[in-house]
């Protein structure tokens, strides 16, 4: 019976190891690496665009939240070719836009009128 107890404990230890390390496999990073991550690297110009686009948010609170999100989510480094940047009507934005309800309604209306969703997002975010 002592041998069975040892085997059982080894199985429990192996199962615990698998559960603990599955977070690393599933996310591709460890908790320690996540804590050390300073944000997604983007080029200096991309970072400037990300910060500047916050001026288009509807309220001072939303502008502040936008700037905080950029500071937390990005850092200046190498140019990031996977960052979604686009320019429409002379306005350049990058990444996901946090649209207000009014802006989201504008996007929906513009898309129904024939504009692309990407263009509608930029124009409604910046101009309305």
Q: Are 25 and 77 within one domain? A: no
Tens-place pLDDT, residues 35-50: 345 799 999 999 999 9
Q: Beta strand pairing status for 74-76 and 40-42? A: parallel
Tens-place pLDDT, residues 76-120: 999 999 999 999 999 999 999 989 999 999 999 999 999 999 999
Q: Are 26 and 42 within one domain? A: no
Structure tokens at 30: 């460890």
> Phi and psi of 38, rounded to 5°?
-95, 10
Q: Are 23 and 76 within one domain? A: no
Residue with more model confidence, 38 or 15: 38
CB atoms within 10 A of CB 21: 11
Q: Are 29 and 42 within one domain? A: no
Q: Are 31 and 44 within one domain? A: no
Query: Residue 86 belongs to what domain range?
Result: 38-127
Q: Are 66 and 29 within one domain? A: no
Burial grade of 84 (CB within 10 A; 0-12, 13-18, 19 or more): exposed
Q: Are 13 and 70 within one domain? A: no
- Backbone CA torsion sign across 49, 52, 57, 60: positive
How far apart (Å, rounded) are the C-alpha atoms in residues 66 and 50? 9
Asked whether the predicted pLDDT for residue 16 surpasses 80, the reply is no
How far apart (Å, rounded) are the C-alpha atoms in residues 108 and 113? 9
Q: Are 28 and 83 within one domain? A: no
User: Domain tally for the chain?
Assistant: 2
Average pLDDT over residues 41-60: 96
Q: Are 17 and 72 within one domain? A: no
Q: Are 69 and 113 within one domain? A: yes
């Amino acid at each position: 019976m002592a041998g069975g107890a040892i085997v059982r404990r080894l199985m429990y230890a192996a199962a615990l190891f698998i559960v603990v390390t599955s977070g690393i496999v599933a996310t591709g990073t460890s908790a320690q690496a996540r804590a050390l991550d300073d944000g997604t690297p983007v080029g200096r110009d991309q970072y400037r665009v990300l910060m500047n686009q916050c001026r288009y948010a509807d309220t001072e609170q939303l502008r502040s939240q936008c700037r905080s999100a950029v500071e937390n989510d990005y850092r200046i480094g190498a140019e990031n070719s996977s960052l979604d940047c686009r320019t429409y009507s002379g306005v350049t934005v990058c990444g996901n836009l946090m649209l207000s309800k009014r802006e989201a309604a504008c996007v929906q209306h513009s898309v129904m009128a024939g504009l692309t969703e990407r263009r509608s997002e930029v124009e409604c975010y910046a101009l309305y």
